[in-house]
Structure 1
C-alpha cells in the first residue's frame, strides 16, 4: 500500500476523532460542510478530529453518524458492543431469492415467456400491493423473483424490435421495483447492479417514461451514497430533465409526473447541500407540474401527485435544518390523502425529524409511533427514524426515555 493511501479506520485501534476524520474524508466532505450539518463550527470539528475534544455524548454522535451516512454505529465509535445498524437495515428473509433472480441471466429458452400484457398486469398489481401493504418488503419480495425472471425471458424471446423495446421497459420497471426492496439492506453492490440495469433497459426501451423513472431511481441511489455523490445525482437528474422538457407539450400524465418527480429530486439534493433558494425553486417547479395532473392521479413508482407535494415541502424544510418551517409545513400537509402506506409512513418520519429539529421530542416520538402503525417495515429500515429513537432513548425525561425504548424494541434497534 502506498504511503499516501487512506488508512483503514478498523485496522488499528483508533480514537473517535480519527475515525470521524477518516469517514468524513471517504465521503468527500469538508470540515465546513460537516460542521454546517451538525450546527457546529469547523474549528469544533477540527478539535474533535484532532483529539483535543473528547468524543461527544450520544445525541451528537448519532448526528455525526447521520451526516456521514455511517451504516453501523460501531464504525464510528470503535466500540463493537455498540454495533447498531443506522442507514443499513436488517437483511430481509427473501433477500437470497431476490438476489438469485437478479444474478441469473437466461441464455436459453427452456419455457415460453409470458406476454407483455400479462407482465404489465403483474407489475401493476405488484405496485398496488406495495402501496397497500404494511409489510411491503414481504409482499414484493415474494413477487420479485418470478417477475424478474419472466421479464428477462421476455427480452430474450422478443420476436421484433418493437416487442423487444416493450419488454425492455417492463424489465426496467421490474428492476425498479427491486430497488425499493433492496434499499437499506446489507448488499450495496446488488442495489447498484439493479440501478444500472434498470437504466440500461430503460434506454433500450426508448420509452420516455421508463427512462425518467430509471433516472429518478438512479438519482436517489447516488444521493443516498453520500455528499461525494451529489454531483452524480444531479448529472443523471438534470440530463434527464433536459431530455423530457422537449416532450412536455404533448406529454402523457405519466411523463408529466416523472418530470415533476425529477424536479423535486433536484430540489431534494439542493436541500441536502444547504442551497435554500435552489431547493425551493425546484419544489415550485414540481408543484407546477403536479397541478397539471388530474386531482386523483398517483404515480405508482414515485408517488408523485398533488397529494404528495405537502410531504415534499416537509422534506425540503427538514433537509435545510429549518425546524420551525418543517413544523409549519407538516401542519399544512395531509398524510391521510397519500394513497400509499409506505409513503405515508415515510412522510411521518420526515415530520418527526422536523419536530425534533424544533425541540419537540415528544411530538417526534408520537409521530414515529404513527409511522410504525402505518408501515412497520418503512421505519425499521429508515436511518433517520432509528437515529431519533436511539437519541431519545437517552433522554433525561423518564416518559420520553420509556416511549423511545419501547419504540426501539418494536423497530428492532434494541433487543427486548
Structure 2
C-alpha cells in the first residue's frame, strides 16, 4: 500500500531532480547546459522557486533527454471530494478503435440531426460542462465515422468536417483539460486524419489548430511548431469566407506561441500582431471558430507576455479584455489564470489566489489539471499557506 508521500502529486522541480539523477548529471552540469546558475536549479529542485515558463521547461527537458510531459507530471489518481468520477471508456474506445474505414457497428442518425448534437456539444464546451460532453461525444464521433464510411457526397464531406470539430477540437481540448493527455492526443490525431481525407486546406488548418493544442506547448510538439507554415498555407485560400478568416487568425495566434516557446520574441510579436489585425474588423462573434476575435486575441497577448516574463505588460493586456466578449467559460478562466500567474510573478500572492478561485468557479477541471497552476498553488502553499490556498491545494490533490 502506497504512503501519502508516494501518492501526492510531485512538484515539477522534484521531477527535474529525479530525471537529473537518473541521467547521472550534477546540479552544476545541468545548470550549465541550460545556461542557468547552480543556485537557480537547486531552488527549482527544492521547490523554493517556481518553474512555470515553457522555455525553461523545454531547455531542461532537452538537456535531460526526457519529455516535457514527464517534467510536468500527471494528475493524481485518487478521487477527492467534489471531483466528479467520469467514465471516459466510451470516448477512449471510439477514438482508439474506430476509424474512417472501420466504423463502429451502430446505427447513425441523419447528418442534420448530428449537426444539432454537435451544436449541443459546443454549448456544453462553452459552459465547461464536461459531463455532457463525455455523454454525447462518443456516439457523435461513432456515428460520424459510420457516415464517412458509408455515405456518398456531399454527406461524407460534411461528416468529415464535423468530425474535425467533434474529435479534433472538442474531444481533444476537453480531454486535455481533464488531464487525460493520451485522449487529447488521440482526438487531435483523429481530427487531422479527417482533414487529410477531406483535402480542404482551410479545414486542414482547423484540424491543425486542434492537433497543435492537444498537447502541452511546453513540450514543443511538432504540430505546434508547424502552425506558422500552415497559417501561411491557409492564407492563400481565405477569399471572402468568414470561417477561413477565423481559422487563419487562430493559427496566427498558435504560431505566436510556437515562436515564444522557441525564444523568438520578434516572431511572436509579428504573429500576434497579424492576428490582432485580422480580428479588428471581425469583432467578437460568439460562434466564431475557437472564439477568434478581439477579446480572445487579448487573452493570447496576456499569455504571451506572461511567457516572456513581463507580468506588468501582461496585466495591461488583461485589463483591456472585456470578459463578457469571451463566449466560453474556458477562455474567461484562462484570462484569470494568466492574471494569477502575472500577479504571482510580481509577488502578489493574495491577488493570484483571488484570480485562481474565480477561474475555478468557471472551469474547475482546467484549474485543477493545469500543470503551471498546480506548480503555482503548491509554491504559494509552501511559502505562505492560508485557508483559501489550502482549499485550492486540496481540490487539486496537492495535499
Q: TM-score range by the shorter chain?
A: 0.7 to 0.9
- The structural deviation recorded for 1:67 is 4.5
Residues 299, 305 of structure 1: 8 Å contact kept: no
| Aligned partner (choices 267, 278, 282) of residue 271 of structure 2 | 282
Give the number of aligned pairs. 363
Structure 1: distance between partners of 2:133 and 2:188:
17
1:73 corresponding residue in structure 2: none
Residues 59, 391 of structure 1: 8 Å contact kept: yes
SS at match of 1:102: helix
Residues 62, 391 of structure 1: 8 Å contact kept: no
- Cα offsets for 1:197-250 (capped at 9, x unmatched): 2111012223444222110012223553614x3x55222x12321221112232
2:348 aligned with 1:360, yes or no? yes
SS at match of 1:308: helix
1:3 corresponding residue in structure 2: none
RMSD after superposition: 3.4
2:224 aligned with 1:233, yes or no? yes
- Equivalent residue runs for 1:256-295 within 5 Å: 256-293=245-282, 295=283
Gaps of 5+ in 1: 1-13, 36-40, 70-83
| Aligned partner (choices 146, 150, 167) of residue 153 of structure 1 | 146
Residues 88, 184 of structure 1: 8 Å contact kept: no
2:123 aligned with 1:131, yes or no? no
Structure 1: distance between partners of 2:18 and 2:75:
26
Q: 1:165 to 1:186 in 2, by over 3 A?
A: same
- Cα offsets for 1:321-359 (capped at 9, x unmatched): 112211222222222321111211111111111111122
Q: 1:59 to 1:66 in 2, by over 3 A?
A: farther
- The structural deviation recorded for 1:128 is 1.2
- Cα offsets for 1:150-199 (capped at 9, x unmatched): 11111122134x33222222222221211012215565444333222211
| Aligned partner (choices 334, 340, 346) of residue 346 of structure 1 | 334
1:164 corresponding residue in structure 2: 156
2:175 corresponding residue in structure 1: 182
Q: 1:191 to 1:350 in 2, by over 3 A?
A: same
- Cα offsets for 1:374-410 (capped at 9, x unmatched): 2222211211221111110012x4xx53321122123
- Equivalent residue runs for 1:85-100 within 5 Å: 88-89=74-75, 93-100=86-93
Q: 1:326 to 1:59 in 2, by over 3 A?
A: farther
1:104 corresponding residue in structure 2: 97
Residues 389, 407 of structure 1: 8 Å contact kept: yes
Residues 392, 401 of structure 1: 8 Å contact kept: no
2:319 corresponding residue in structure 1: 331
TM-score, normalised on structure 2? 0.80
Q: 1:354 to 1:166 in 2, by over 3 A?
A: same
Gaps of 5+ in 2: 1-13, 59-69, 78-84
Q: 1:187 to 1:384 in 2, by over 3 A?
A: closer
